[in-house]
Amino acid sequence: MATVPHLEFERDMVELQEQIQKLLQLAEKKGINVSSELAELRGKLESLREETYRNLEPIDQVQVARHPRRPYSLDYVERVFTDWMELHGDRAFRDDAAIVGGWARLRGQPVMVIGHQKGRDMKENIHRNFGMPHPEGYRKALRLMRMAEKFRRPVVTFIDTPGAYPGLGAEKRGQAEAIAMNLREMARLRVPLVSVVIGEGGSGGALALGVTDRILMLEHSVYSVISPEGCAAILWRSAEHRGKAAKALKLTTSDLHRLGVCDEVIPEPAGGAHADWDRTAASLGDTLARHLGELSELSADDRRKARWAKYEAMGAWLESPLASGSPS
Amino acid sequence: MSWFRKPKKPLTSEDRRDLPSDVFSKCEGCGEILYREKLSQNDHVCPKCGYHFRIGADLYIRLLSDEGSFHETESELRSADPLEFTDLKPYRDRLRAAETKSGRGDAVVTGRATVEGIGVALGVMDFSFIGGSMGSVVGEKIARLGRLALEEERPLILVSASGGARMMEGIYSLMQMAKTSAVLARLHEAGLPFISILTHPTTGGVTASFAMLGDVNLAEPGALIGFAGPRVIEETIKQELPDDFQTAEFLLEHGMVDRVVDRRVLRDEVAVLLRHLFVHDGAGFTG
């Protein structure tokens, strides 16, 4: 994977990898035994990788969440589900390729799968608008969720977007209304709903697929009300302060789990999901199946009530101004 | 997320800072010099061109509800600082300054009121409190108002003015969009009316949640209403936006609001609507 683009904090690891490569070439050329040196270097690489990924700064997490080799929705569809049949269009304007959706089976059971979809190269990214949906994308998602409701199948959503697209057409066609309607209608659905943040959870454009009974997150994904760059540009008056903004926003999985927004963090292999797609997909599939199993045991009424209670409890406030003087 | 943006039209705050020396105001719409008292008698609408001056939450409450009928609820609620957020200034200091400046606890006022005798649950946002941004308190107060409407079977009326989510509360501010929408889902199923009134400016997470979910959406003339702020859009598409882009009239043309309503007849229109949607007097056809 020598051509794989790498991140700033991955540099040392890439260097070690190159040393290993050189050693192997040398060994082959000169016919000498380098197994002990090789084992040492590989051990070093492994512990460096673990160490690095254990201590990522929030802004590094953002970089991993946006890693160009990170698996996207369709990569998980391929590995976690069977019998995938994609369905297209919002029945009103067009098919938005920034959101994919369709039927599939999870452990043999039919489910509706809907997710943001980024592109792997420039051509695909133009087609998929870098995973930034227009209103018709959200309306397609809602159409598919209503279909799932009609046939009483659970809905699984994958969240991975920089945000809803801020453009002329998007505004004309009601980006705000499309997102708002999804929020309200997802709250009303009677079938089980589980969302998994697999990469970037970018603001309202992410939440529009995220009003669910369970919110799961892959370990190195992030979820935030605004991008660190956007936040820094506004509050620090320069996007250069994105590192500070990323820290302040508390957008990592450990923060979001602590804040009660993320229900479960799905561990990624050392080196992140992009290092091993299959292993990541396997643990994602197991976790997803477990949550859907739990949710299926509840009645539709109880599920909805619990969903409402979950969202109504979110936030932090003081019941009176007097309390604001209390030590924090 | 764009409460920080400069609105297209300069803000005025004459309703809150009534300087005695300030006898005249210049209309931002047509440049006419207006006698303040006249302007105030005209609901802060320019008598010449119809330009709507910005008014605060108190004036909105007075404009919409029967005299003396408004009784505030949840006025004690205050923002916590769950993330201990500090940018160039600590969020706590921003909150304190906003409370001092605006004289209120957060960016929305909620309560019970009557409109031409019909009991309603009324919430009005105040842009002067951190750009009317929605944090946990705004979300919670609107959610509680929605539950009050459910319990007491009242129509819900929300007047929006907001730059969007309050990023100093991070993910919690985003989740208020889901929280308020979930309460509206229950109201919707209960068959209770929700009238959303969008004023200048309503953008970001507030537009993308409760403000667009009215059974009927009413917008104030000339109000800036949108999802993304105009500057963000210009930066994204690298071209200038048309003059009327994201105005109330633009939204009407594109089917996103039901009516653009002059403030001077807003109360009458709301009352007519409430009677259409909600008041059953036993006579006539039934559904």
**Residue A184 sits at the chain B interface (C-beta within 8 Å):** yes
> H/E/C letters for each residue in chain B?
CCCCCCCCCCCCCCCCCCCCCCCEEECCCCCCEEEHHHHHHCCCECCCCCCECCCCHHHHHHHHCCCCCCEEECCCCEECCCCCCECCCEHHHHHHHHHHHHCCCCCEEEEEEEECCEEEEEEEECCCCHHHCECHHHHHHHHHHHHHHHHHCCCEEEEEEECCECHHHHHHHHHHHHHHHHHHHHHHHCCCCEEEEEEEEECHHHHCCHHHCCCEEEECCCCEECCCCHHHHHHHHCCCCCCCCCEHHHHHHCCCCCEECCHHHHHHHHHHHHHHHCCCCCCCCCC
A252 found inside a domain: yes
Residue B138 pLDDT: 98
- Cα(A87)–Cα(A72) distance, rounded to whole angstroms? 18
Q: Are residues A193 and A142 in the same domain?
A: yes
Residues of A in contact with B83 (CB under 8 A): 248-250
Over 80: is that where the pLDDT of A19 sits?
A: yes
- The pLDDT > 70 percentage for chain B reads 92
Residue of A nearest to B256 (CA): A174
A187 and B79: CB-CB below 8 Å? no
Parent domain of A25: 10-55
- Are residues A271 and A146 part of one domain? yes
**Minimum-distance CB partner of A317 among B78, B171, B212:** B78
Residue-wise pLDDT for A136-187, tens only, equals 999 999 999 999 999 999 999 999 999 999 999 999 999 999 999 999 999 9
Given an 8 Å threshold on Cβ–Cβ distance, is B174 in contact with A207?
yes
Q: Average pLDDT, whole number, for chain A?
A: 94
Minimal Cβ distance to A226: which of B1, B79, B211: B1
**Which residue of chain B comes nearest to A177, CA vs CA?**
B212
Q: Are residues A126 and A68 in the same domain?
A: yes
**Which of B77, B86, B232 is nearest residue A319 as measured by Cβ atoms?**
B77
Query: Given an 8 Å threshold on Cβ–Cβ distance, is B1 in contact with A230?
Result: yes
B197 vs B182: CA distance, rounded Å? 19
| pLDDT greater at residue B286 or residue A254 | A254
> What band does A3 get if pLDDT is binned at 50, 70 and 90?
very low
Q: Which of A187, A204, A317 minimises the CB distance to B205?
A: A204
Measure CB to CB from residue A316 to each of B82, B186, B210 and give the nearest one: B82
Say if residue A44 is in the same domain as residue A80. no
Say if the Cβ atoms of B78 and A318 lie within 8 Å. Answer: yes
> What are the structural domain ranges in chain B?
21-53, 56-277
Per the CB < 8 Å rule, is B181 touching A204? no
Per-residue pLDDT, B167: 96
Nearest to B170 among A244, A251, A319 (CB): A251
ipTM of the complex model:
0.93
Asked whether residue A113 is assigned to any structural domain, the reply reads yes
Question: What is residue A54's predicted lDDT score, i.e. its pLDDT?
Answer: 84
Q: How confident is the model at residue A86 (pLDDT cuts 50, 70, 90)?
A: very high
Assess whether A113 and A202 both reside in one domain.
yes
Q: How far apart are CA B215 and CA B208, in angstroms?
A: 15
A190-245 pLDDT, tens digit per residue, is 999 999 999 999 999 999 999 999 999 999 999 999 999 999 999 999 989 999 99
The answer to the question of residue A26 being in a domain is yes
Q: Which residues in chain B land under pLDDT 50?
A: 1, 6, 14-16, 18-21
For residue A306, being part of any structural domain is answered with: yes
Distance from the Cα of A55 to chain B's closest Cα (Å) equals 20
Contact B78 A323 (CB under 8 A): yes
Q: Do residues A101 and A49 both lie within one domain?
A: no
Best A301, A317, A318, A328 member to test B by mutation, with max B CBs in 10 Å, is A317
Nearest chain A alpha carbon to B175: A314
CA distance A268 to chain B (A): 22
How far is residue A79's CA from residue B278's CA, in Å, rounded to a whole number? Answer: 52
Indicate whether A3 belongs to any domain: no
Q: What pLDDT, in 10s, does the model give residues B119-172?
A: 999 999 999 999 999 999 999 999 999 999 999 999 999 999 999 999 999 999
> Do residues A216 and A80 share a domain?
yes
- pLDDT at position B4, please? 53
pLDDT of A262-304, one tens digit each? 999 999 998 899 999 999 999 999 999 999 999 999 999 999 9
Work out the average pLDDT over A3-27.
82
A172 contact residues in B (CB cutoff 8 A) = 254
Helices B170-189 and A175-188 sit at what angle, rounded to 10 degrees?
A: 70
Q: What is the pLDDT of residue B236?
A: 87
CB B80 to CB A311 under 8 A?
no
Same domain, yes or no, for A81 and A163?
yes
- Select from 3.50.50.60, 2.30.30.20, 3.40.50.10420, 3.90.226.10 the CATH code of B56-277: 3.90.226.10
> What pTM does this model have?
0.93
- Using an 8 Å CB-CB cutoff, list chain B residues near A207: 174-175, 177-178
Contact between chains at B254 and A172 (C-beta distance less than 8 A): yes
* Residues A27 and A109 reside in one and the same domain: no
- Residues A152, A112 share a domain: yes
Contacting residues of B for A259, CB less than 8 Å apart: 82, 170-172
A and B: number of Cβ contacts within 8 A: 210
Number of domains making up chain A: 2
pLDDT at B100: 94
Q: How far apart are CA A234 and CA A231, in angstroms?
A: 5
CATH number reported for the structural domain that contains residue A196 in this entry: 3.90.226.10
Residue of A61, A186, A311 for testing the chain B interface, max B β-carbons within 10 Å = A311
Instruction: Kindly state whether residues A284 and A245 are assigned to the same domain.
Output: yes
Q: Is A327 domain-assigned?
A: no
Per-residue pLDDT tens for B218-235? 999 999 999 998 988 988
Same domain assignment for residues A267 and A124? yes
The H or E element containing residue A171 is helix A168-172
pLDDT at A7: 78
